[in-house]
Structure 1
Amino acid sequence: MVKFTTNSYNRHSSHFVLFYGVLLMEIIPAQLAKNQFGDLLMKAQREPVQISKHGKRVAVVISPDEYDQFTQLKLQNLKSILAESIEQAERGELHHIDDVFAPLTSNEIEG
């Protein structure tokens, strides 16, 4: 991954993450995100926007549609894992319960 900085890095300038010349997402310092929240929301409708604080990633803002797609992919992945686990159990290949539920969040387990 290659980073390209638009200005010298400070809390008032954004920069971009490039991968082989393809723009992946804009990185915006938290202070700038706070000061330009409306613009941040508009950008997030078009592409993910990463928020950094003290040079570390703290959040990624995405559109509701992108979030829905992401959660759908997670659900499909979970269903695939569970289907494989059922097939393994039917073949007598059992796993410890902690290994089965490790990929799940508490909301997915309870919900």
Structure 2
Amino acid sequence: MSTDIDLNVAPSGTGCVECDEQQGFWVHLRRCAACGHVGCCDTSPGQHATAHFQETGHPLIQSFEPGEDWFWDYADETVLDGPELAAPTSRPQDQPSPGPAGRVPANWRELIHT
């Protein structure tokens, strides 16, 4: 597991990289433990964290939500405990979920995966 984690790499930003590029929205955020890429969860319309795993083979993500520190291993499909990654370890506390503020459509519940 340790080769899939870089304790020194910072997150790629405060929100999902691809959702920000596409002016989309996310439900929850996930951070790649290997490269810091921040993507959206599988409930989100874009499912960009899983897409990042499929494109790169980086198997470990950590929740990028305030107060959560669990890891998910795509390869084994298991929840894991792991080390603390480089700061910041979550999206900003004042950023809503779903988010970001101003880009979440009124009908967002109809657009997500359940």
TM-score normalised by L of structure 2:
0.31
Larger gyration radius, structure 1 or structure 2: 1
Select the structure that is richer in helix: 1
Select the structure that is richer in strand: 1
TM-score normalised by L of structure 1:
0.31
Bigger relative contact order, structure 1 or 2, given CA contacts below 8 A and separation 6+? 2
